[in-house]
Amino acid sequence: MADQPLEKRVDDLFLRMTLEEKIGQLCQMDGRIGYEEWITKKHVGSFLHVYGDLINKIQLCASKTRLGIPVLFGIDAVHGNAFVPGSTVFPSQLGMSSSWNLSLIEDMARITAREVSACGIHWTFSPVLCVSRDLRWGRVDETFGEDILLIGEMGKAMVRGYQGQKLGEPESILACAKHFAGYSETQGGRDASEADLSKRKLLSGFLPAFEAAAKSGCATFMIAYQSIDGIPCSANAWLLEEMLKGEWEFGGIAITDWNNIGRMVNEQFVCATMDEAVMKALNAGTEMAMSTPEFPDALLRCVKSGKVKTETIDRIVKKILRLKFELGLFEGIKVFSDKNVIEKTLGRDEHRQKALECALQSIVLLKNEDSILPLSDSVKRVCVIGPNADDPVAQLGDWSFHSESLDTKTDWHPGGNIVTVLGGIRNRCGTRIAVEYCKGCSIIDDGLDEIDDAAELVRGSDIAIVVLGDTLPLIGETHDRVSLDLSGKQMDLVQSVHKTGVPIITVLINSKPLSIPWLKQYSNAIIEAWNPGMEGGTAVAQVLFGDVNPSGKLTISFPLHSGQIPVYYNQIPGWHAHRYADLPDGKPLFPFGFGLSYTTYKYENISVSKNIIKPGEGLTVSIDVENTGNVDGIEIVQLYIRDLVSSVTVPIMQLKDWKRVELGQNEKKRVDFSLKPNAFSLINTELKAVIEPGFFEIMAGGSSSKEDLLSVVIEIAEV
Ligand code: GLC
């Protein structure tokens, strides 16, 4: 049959299925809590959170059913196949986004796909395309930051990496654009609470990344937990039918997040019964249900009573079967995992090397007073201090070993193949430089207090490297925060070290921006390393000692104070006084697009191809950038636009393009940007994307700060 056309094979199998078998294909259950009954009695066609021997056991069980339809396995491999021991663990999405490097992000996804598919798993619930604007939210680390253009382009790169050229390739897996949509813009940063977003706001600032993913062929979408303006996303026909499947012509599968359908009854209280919830969800465009145990029986009742049409089920089942055929599952491809393949694929050297490259490019140099970095050869004794200096679990962050998302509190500890900051510094220093270490305190105060010991150890050192940040109980779903200050006794620790007078290099191992004004003032240097993955310590050490010149730039703004949130760069104007009465400086602590280097860059001669264009015309913007220092570097040149007068309020600036430019010492290049007409468009009150005549400010430079930008004004003339 493999030589038959795909559609014929789908129809042939479909016509042999009972209604119950069809409904089973719409169900995805948690494979860790049993599978036999789900398969033999409910014909469940997909499981998640399963790896190891269980994969083959479940597939074997499915192969013995009447039609033997293979099971589709999904997992959250969101920064590498990071739940499976031995896998390559990359930096978090937020860390990776600081590289502004699309091909590197694609490489990370490709390696992840290779390791996931080797395990007999077919689907990763990645990329996250949420826009991080409320930093109290627990899942900021899973996002590509606060800018919708970056998120869209990086999301497409991940989809390319995961899905490759064809889903049938041995290494290709299904990507999943999530969480659709507006999930990160919930009240108070509270995970899964209601999002107060209008359709115009969604179309302007939250949907473009999902549209890009849909149009780039992303195979699946995950529907967000929360409600928008009173309607749960799983029951939102405007989102699922009108936009996703209608305007964007998405032909893949829309699956709910974890038990969304049950939450419509038990948390959002918009349905009195499960049958009502199933009916609302299926009739609004939901196609698969993740981890809703009551779903198969409720859907059977809904179909039999006519609340859900058989045609709806038939259309969805055919889409799911088509995906399984495209993946090659019916040819036995990627069905059973082979321990030998796993052994030689997971965590292999070339993958580790790529993880190191990712970690290096994700590091952002936030401060470097008197060029204290890179550390000079005169340094003979460094003292490494802090709770995150030698903690593999904190370093990997969420959706990895020990994170609650998968109850992976297994005995297996990733320590063996994770290079911590302390480990990286020790490896780099060898016997040439003495390295002392003291943890000092914990991220969350557990009574550990070695603050005096740490200060004592620092005395007599040339440099104190203080590694601070956050860790799992402060990160992730259900771990939103009210304060972004350093937790526990971290401030006491670093202030005690500061009193010794020894210069301080702060290294941040953290999931999200923190409000750290004291560190900005009193550290001699600050390295932002995020959750840098398994080679994070090696990367930090290579940057500290100047083996690599840091090139990362922030894709998310740092707040001066938690109460300042939201602090993202592309604000809508209109705030009286532009500051809080009790926070005179209304600016972020570190702005979007900011990042230092061991060299310096100079921008000159911004110019445009035309000063007046017509609506529908593009524009070329050029600018000179020169490396004025004595170290080779990579500068991320950014291009922003502001519509100076518009029919609706628009952001004070908006990123429209960027380029990573390699510049040798004293080298100058002229950088050209080609702006397409839609760079000048806005969503008007009729929800249409329009280009309005008028004046536009074009800005280019090294960050979103005015002082880092050169600008020119152009006009879009009335036709
Ligand atoms: C979680 C998350 C989602 C994840 C899914 C499966 O609750 O919201 O991002 O993919 O459930 O683990």
Over residues 663-682, mean pLDDT: 98
Residue ID of nearest Cα to ligand 1 atom 12? 76
Q: Ligand 1: distance of its center to the CA of 126 in Å? A: 10
Q: Ligand 1: distance of its center to the CA of 262 in Å? A: 15
Helix (H) or strand (E) holding 384: strand 381-385
Q: Ligand 1: distance of its center to the CA of 167 in Å? A: 23
Does the beta carbon of 76 lie inside 6 Å of ligand 1?
Answer: yes
Cis peptide before 503 (omega within 30 of 0): no
Over residues 359-384, mean pLDDT: 97
Residue 417 pLDDT grade (very low, low, confident, very high; cuts 50, 70, 90): confident
* CA angle, 218 then 224 then 230, to 5°: 135
User: Whose CA is closest to 168, among 284, 52, 333?
Assistant: 333
Residue ID of nearest Cα to ligand 1 atom 10? 125
* Per-residue pLDDT tens digits for 322-355: 999 999 999 988 889 999 999 999 999 999 999 9
Rounded Cα distance between 372 and 598, Å, is 10
Return the ligand 1 atom nearest residue 179 CA. 9
Tell me the one-letter amino acid at 190.
R
Q: Ligand 1: distance of its center to the CA of 407 in Å? A: 13
Per-residue pLDDT at 414: 61
Q: Ligand 1: distance of its center to the CA of 72 in Å? A: 16
Per-residue pLDDT at 410: 52
DSSP single-letter state for residue 239: I
Contacts of 36 (CB under 8 A, 6+ apart): 61
Does the beta carbon of 21 lie inside 6 Å of ligand 1?
Answer: no
DSSP single-letter state for residue 256: E
* Per-residue pLDDT tens digits for 423-471: 999 999 999 999 999 999 999 999 999 999 999 999 989 999 999 999 9
Q: Ligand 1: distance of its center to the CA of 423 in Å? A: 32
Which position has the token pair 């077919």?
122
Rounded Cα distance between 555 and 674, Å, is 22
Q: Ligand 1: distance of its center to the CA of 230 in Å? A: 22
Return the ligand 1 atom nearest residue 405 CA. 12
* Per-residue pLDDT tens digits for 110-132: 999 999 999 999 999 999 999 99
Per-residue pLDDT at 401: 80
Residue 407 pLDDT grade (very low, low, confident, very high; cuts 50, 70, 90): low
Residue 413 pLDDT grade (very low, low, confident, very high; cuts 50, 70, 90): low
DSSP single-letter state for residue 376: P
Residue ID of nearest Cα to ligand 1 atom 1? 258
Per-residue pLDDT at 402: 76
Query: Is 116:124 a contact under the CB 8 Å cutoff?
Result: yes
Q: State phi, psi for 716 to the nearest 5 degrees.
A: -100, 115
Rounded Cα distance between 458 and 501, Å, is 9
Does the beta carbon of 110 lie inside 6 Å of ligand 1?
Answer: no
Per-residue pLDDT at 415: 60
Does the beta carbon of 178 lie inside 6 Å of ligand 1?
Answer: yes
Does the beta carbon of 258 lie inside 6 Å of ligand 1?
Answer: yes
Tokens of 76: 């959250």
Per-residue pLDDT at 412: 57
Residue ID of nearest Cα to ligand 1 atom 8? 257
Q: Ligand 1: distance of its center to the CA of 63 in Å? A: 27
Return the higher-pLDDT residue of 407 and 142. Answer: 142
Q: State phi, psi for 9 to the nearest 5 degrees.
A: -70, -40
Q: Ligand 1: distance of its center to the CA of 260 in Å? A: 11
* Per-residue pLDDT tens digits for 561-604: 999 999 999 999 999 988 999 998 889 999 999 999 999 999 99
Does the beta carbon of 477 lie inside 6 Å of ligand 1?
Answer: yes
